[in-house]
Structure 1
Amino acid sequence: MQTNRRDFLQHSAAALSIPSLMGAGLAQAQTQASVEVLKIITGFAAGGTSDTVCRRVADGLRGLYARSALVENRTGAGGQIAITSVKASPADGTVMLQTPASMLTIYPHIYKKLQYDPFKDLVPVSMACTFEFALAVGPAVPASITNVPEFLAWVKANPTNANFGSPAAGSTPHFTAEMLARAGQVSMRHLPYRGTQPAILDLTGGQIASVSGPIGDFLPHLAGGRVRLMGVSGAKRRRFAPQTPTFAEQGLKDVVTDEWFAFYMPAGTPSDIVQRANAALRTALAKPEVIDGLSAMGLEAKSSSQAELLDMQRRDTERWGPIVKAVGFTAD
């Protein structure tokens, strides 16, 4: 799966980097501001990676797809409230959802009754970015603990203090930490939050031992030393945290995960509107200021066609089924 993902992203990047003059002209025609006010909805708190993507892209879309673009944080239920609100929104191009993949590819495996169908209630518009995860510890864990094997040994010796926070129950970082615990043959109590930033606040305050979340969410907190990265989830080290080894490097070769954020519209949105939104997002995500803004949060800007996003959603839904079953977690 990792090889297929890399090939897809590499081929997508190559295709987007060499647009024809005709294609560029068509994109320009399709991305004229045709919406008065665009509302971008995210299910996570302000200050986190999801919120950052929304705000950076909103800046890039103003005057391109919409005259004004606003971000609305509808937190709760691990991102489900945002999705259900978009599902019920007018299908006229004025509302767009930005969501991590987890809510679309993992939740169907852990909830018996979701309030939305990821494939029927939403229309894919474009990918937004890709990223990976890190496990971080705070003051509740002794400073002598510097890597994942040492942390897992500490967990085994301190079961009452063994816990981890994640941005949502059933999210990819939740399952990444569960996979780590299974690989290390330890048990850790999961504490779900409404986004990674609230979890990091408790981490720095010593209320919880560790947090599993996107790499970028931890970067602003590393300088003070109260947040320490134990490992990252990618197949190789990331430029955002080059000194931090991967889980695989530390002997946990099967714990390799990543994720993407993407934009969707309500089902029934006319295809010409979706195409204009896709063209506008591609243009916005190629702007240097957007690329740099996302990079500062550990995110790789990456747009896609509608078909490519739908294919990625299908493949990841199939990929996570066996993993969820092995972990044994259900939300109901």
Structure 2
Amino acid sequence: MTLDRRQFLAATAGGSLSLLGLLGLPRLAQAQTLVEQTRVLCGFPAGGTTDAVSRRVGERLRGSFAKISLVENKPGVGGRLAVEELKRSAPDGTTMLLSPASPITLYPHIYKSLSYGINDFIPVSTACSINFALAVGPAVPDSVKTLKDFLAWAKANPSKASYATPGAGTPNHFVAALLAKESGVDLNHVPYRGSAPGVQDLVGGQIAAMSSPIGDHLPYIKNGKVRVLATSGAQRSRFLPDVPTYAEQGFKSLVMQEWYGFFLPLKTPAEVVNRAAAAIKAAVSTQDTIDAFAQLGLEAGANTPEDIARAVREENAAWGPIVKKVGFTPEA
């Protein structure tokens, strides 16, 4: 739940940090400011969208922010393990987190025993944004071509009407749970430890459907392994222009987009935060990164620490009444 594509691109273009100051520094001075080694925490397993973003940007932090930059996958409980690890880490730039917004902004409203809150971290910059998709695989008959078809099939086949997500309590889960509630059709949620294992089961016919980022399904559409029935944006995705949105198909409240952002531990010095933001901005602004993100159904875009901090506060405040109204829980 965040800005639409046009607003996101406008915000990130207008609020980005300048690298002119860094570019004017002597080579030796730049070398002295580099962190010796940084690890980029990723709360989802290798092969998924979050992992791909963390690796694409993490690799480009080498030489611009740190002498050595490594990605460390800590999958589990919808990305929370990595967030908790960041909270325990030293505030010196040696550890940062790449995460979808939801573990930071949404989870405080749905997990009663959560060990962190939005004020436990320093937001650094966005990296990209994404819409979600509902896709079906070979476990669903070829005659199911639309969202309406799928809901009718699911109602007639309740024992088979299961859907995967990258984790319980994620926005992907929220969208599908809201679809089930508004349609009156029981859909059985099967949470996975990230997108990759869920997609594998979807393509293999072990599960009927999956609600996850659009990019998870793009490689399998051309070969006919999956069919995307709906996307979650306010408008159709430029990556799937022939697929109608949930809203177009009668579900007006199922409009949702998520951004991915970088975070540092609380009390990290402002100078380190600003250098990290500048390095991330440089990394996501290159044409090869923009093109690589597009292959994953992602819109690249960086912003300032102030802008992403504002987005975190606003989204966290907005999620509260929505979760309460819908009655959404990780067990939904």
Partner SS for 2:217: helix
Q: Which moved more, 1:147-156 or 1:31-40?
A: 31-40
RMSD: 2.0
Q: Does 1:69 find its partner at 2:69?
A: yes
Residue matched to 1:256:
255
Residue matched to 1:105:
105
In structure 2, do the counterparts of structure 1 residues 216 and 180 end up closer, same or farther at CA, with 3 Å as the change threshold?
Answer: same
Deviation at residue 4 of structure 1 after TM alignment:
7.9
Q: Does 1:130 find its partner at 2:125?
A: no
Partner SS for 1:54: helix
1:28 aligned partner, one-letter code: L
Residue matched to 2:21:
26
Counterpart-to-counterpart distance in 1, 2:131 and 2:62 = 29
Note the alpha carbon deviations across 1:107-166, whole angstroms, 9 max, x for none.
1111111121222x2111101111100000011111100111111111111111111111
Residue matched to 1:82:
82
CA contact (8 A) 1:44 1:75 kept: yes
Deviation at residue 29 of structure 1 after TM alignment:
5.5
1:107 aligned partner, one-letter code: Y
Residue matched to 1:92:
92
Deviation at residue 323 of structure 1 after TM alignment:
2.6
Unaligned runs of 5+ in 1: none
Note the alpha carbon deviations across 1:31-73, whole angstroms, 9 max, x for none.
9451122100000011111001111102221211112211110
Counterpart-to-counterpart distance in 1, 2:53 and 2:30 = 22
Q: Does 1:117 find its partner at 2:112?
A: no
After superposition, where does 1:135-214 map in structure 2 within 5 Å? 135-214=134-213
Note the alpha carbon deviations across 1:292-316, whole angstroms, 9 max, x for none.
1111111111101111101111111
2:222 aligned partner, one-letter code: A
Residue matched to 1:47:
47
Unaligned runs of 5+ in 2: none
Residue matched to 1:296:
295
Deviation at residue 252 of structure 1 after TM alignment:
1.5
Deviation at residue 15 of structure 1 after TM alignment:
4.6
Residue matched to 2:230:
231
Deviation at residue 330 of structure 1 after TM alignment:
2.6
Counterpart-to-counterpart distance in 1, 2:188 and 2:85 = 31
2:23 aligned partner, one-letter code: Q
Note the alpha carbon deviations across 1:176-223, whole angstroms, 9 max, x for none.
111211221211111111111111111112111110000011111112
2:56 aligned partner, one-letter code: R
What's the TM-score once normalised by structure 2's chain length? 0.93
CA contact (8 A) 1:123 1:266 kept: yes
Partner SS for 1:284: helix
In structure 2, do the counterparts of structure 1 residues 24 and 3 end up closer, same or farther at CA, with 3 Å as the change threshold?
Answer: closer
